[in-house]
Amino acid sequence: MSSTAGQVIKCRAAVAWEAGKPLVMEEVEVAPPKAMEVRLKILYSSLCHTDVYFWEAKGQTPVFPRIFGHEAGGVVESVGEGVTDLSPGDHVLPIFMGECKECAHCKSTESNMCDLLRINTDRGVMISDGQSRFSLNGKPIYHFLGTSTFSEFTVVHVGCVAKINPLAPLDKVCVISCGISTGYGAAVNVAKPPKGSTVAVFGLGAVGLAAAEGARASGASRIIGVDLNPKRFEEAKKFGVTEFVNPTDYDIPVQEVLAEMTNGGVDRSIECSGSTSAMISAFECVHDGWGVAVLVGVPHKDAVFKTHPVNFLVERTLKGTFYGNYKPRSDIPAVVEKYMAKELELEKFITHSVPFSEINKAFDYMLKGESLRCIIHMDG
């Protein structure tokens, strides 16, 4: 691959030209990486619900034409000036949250919210020069989450690239680069349920199931799944969910249902749906005195969270997290090793597989609620 270093690469990319319309396979030009950037050859990508959410552009700022994708695995093709810890051929996961290793957040043991590289859903260009590295017929195609993995080659800031064990199968560990780490980390790093505790998980998509898996790994004895889709309940048992609640089955708020089931409230709750009503329920269902609620889902940009201040005064705690509080460069290689050591199962999250040329099928599966994760083989 070194023969392409410093040159513009022409490759296939699935371009979203407008909101909600099928992606179009185009031959785009991918510029070489500039200072502190790397160009990656993407081998496998996966469809995350966040891609669908911003592709639909319902309640978010529309930025088009754009190359979506942020959950992937690949190899380094070339590196820009100043990049010292990555080399061509390294196996990597591009990650939407960055780690510059220099700011106060990166130096903190409590935060992963890098000042330089924190998530920015509206930005469609590279931070170094405000330009896109993708073009078609001389016109820019915009980036998404600094990753844009629905392209055979992409350019990413070095701080958003985790170097991993080259023996790890990229078609499996690619899901660690977003959804699975987000849910699992929300449980083990943020909620931290004590052994024997009761945990409620709101939203039983891939992220919620990963949160349930994290709660089980932490030793929770009861894991209550809350979802509007009863079809998800049977599948959720594989991830440690022990009981199920569908809010539409009750005439009272679901937080009251959960309080009745658990003698006053759950010890921990993790909200993974993005619904503000679910966020409020997740907070109000935790036990007073020690209950902790963790918000994971991405809300509508105009969403408002309302609850009575007394809910805080009675010593409930509300937290939020992006990417499960993991620092991508420092922490993610160890998460990959958890999979390699068979301490973290990824296969059960992967329900479908499609060639790159049929990427729109992955969107169909997600929209129909049929898939947890669909792996996209970029060579197909």
pLDDT at 362 over 60: yes
**Rounded distance between C-alpha atoms, residue 201 and residue 183, angstroms:** 10
CA distance 316 to 310: 9
Residue 174 known to be catalytic? no
* Mean pLDDT along residues 194-211: 97
Backbone angles phi, psi at 13, to 5 degrees: -145, 145
Percent share of the chain, pLDDT over 70: 99
Q: Provide the token pair at 326.
A: 């993991």
Nearest to 120 by CA among 163, 63, 82: 63
Q: Does the pLDDT at position 231 exceed 60?
A: yes
Q: Is 71 noted as a catalytic residue in this protein?
A: yes
Q: What is the pLDDT of residue 60?
A: 76
Give the model's confidence band at 320: pLDDT under 50 very low, under 70 low, under 90 confident, else very high: very high
pLDDT at 13 over 90: yes
Please say if 178 is a catalytic residue. yes
Give the pLDDT of residue 340. 98
Residue 118 annotated to the active site: yes
Backbone angles phi, psi at 199, to 5 degrees: -125, 135
Catalytic hit among 178, 272, 285, 374: 178
Q: What are the DSSP calls for 128-146, one per residue? A: TTS--SEEETTEEEB-STT
* 71, 152, 213, 284: the active-site residue: 71
Residues 6+ apart with CB under 8 A from 148: 13, 66, 67, 68, 69, 70, 134, 154
* 316 tagged catalytic: no
Mean pLDDT of 216-234: 96
Mean pLDDT of the chain: 96
Q: Give the model's confidence band at 62: pLDDT under 50 very low, under 70 low, under 90 confident, else very high.
A: confident
373 is catalytic: yes
Annotated catalytic residue within 70, 133, 268, 329:
70
The pLDDT value given to residue 365? 95
- Cα torsion angle, 224, 225, 227, 230, sign: negative
Q: Is the pTM of this model over 0.85?
A: yes
- pLDDT tens track for 247-298: 999 999 999 999 999 999 999 999 999 899 999 999 999 999 999 999 999 8
pLDDT value at 166 more than 70: yes
Of the residues 216, 232, 352, 373, which is catalytic? 373
Best CA proximity match to 156, nearest among 110, 214, 90, 248: 90
Query: Is 222 an annotated catalytic residue?
Result: no
**Residue from 310, 265, 262 nearest 291 by CA:** 265
In this structure, what token pair is assigned to residue 226?
Answer: 């809350």
**pLDDT band at residue 2, thresholds of 50, 70 and 90?**
low
* Distance of alpha carbon 260 from alpha carbon 91, whole angstroms: 49
Section 125-129 average pLDDT: 95
Evaluate if residue 34 carries a pLDDT over 90: yes
Please give the average per-residue pLDDT across 328-340, as a whole number.
97
CB neighbour list of residue 364: distance below 8 Å, 6 or more residues apart: none
The catalytically annotated residue of 37, 39, 48, 316 is 48
What confidence score (pLDDT) does residue 58 get? 79
**pLDDT band at 304; cut points 50, 70, 90:** very high
49-57, long-range: CB < 8 A, 24+ apart: 49/179, 49/205, 49/206, 49/207, 49/366, 50/145, 50/178, 50/298, 51/144, 52/363, 52/366, 52/367, 53/274, 53/298, 54/121, 54/144, 55/16, 55/19, 55/20, 55/363, 56/19, 56/20, 57/19, 57/20
- Of residues 11, 12, 29, 103, which has the active-site annotation? 103
Q: How far is residue 25 CA from its own chain's centroid?
A: 24
Checking if the pLDDT of 1 tops 70, the result is no
Residue 193 or residue 121, greater confidence: 193
Q: What is the pLDDT of residues 84-111, one digit of tens each?
A: 999 999 999 999 999 999 999 999 999 9
Active-site entry in 37, 39, 49, 154: 49
What gap in Å lies between CA 79 and CA 38, rounded to an integer? 4
pLDDT band at 310 (very low <50, low <70, confident <90, very high): very high
Percent of the chain whose predicted confidence (pLDDT) is above 90? 93
Per-residue confidence (pLDDT) for residue 3, from 0 to 100: 84
Which residue among 26, 66, 91, 114 is the active-site one? 114
Residue 185's pLDDT is: 98
* Position 2, amino acid: S
Give me the residues paired with residue 222 across strands: 198
Task: Return the SS3 of 74.
Answer: strand
Residue 12 bears catalytic tag: no
pLDDT tier at 299, thresholds 50, 70, 90: confident
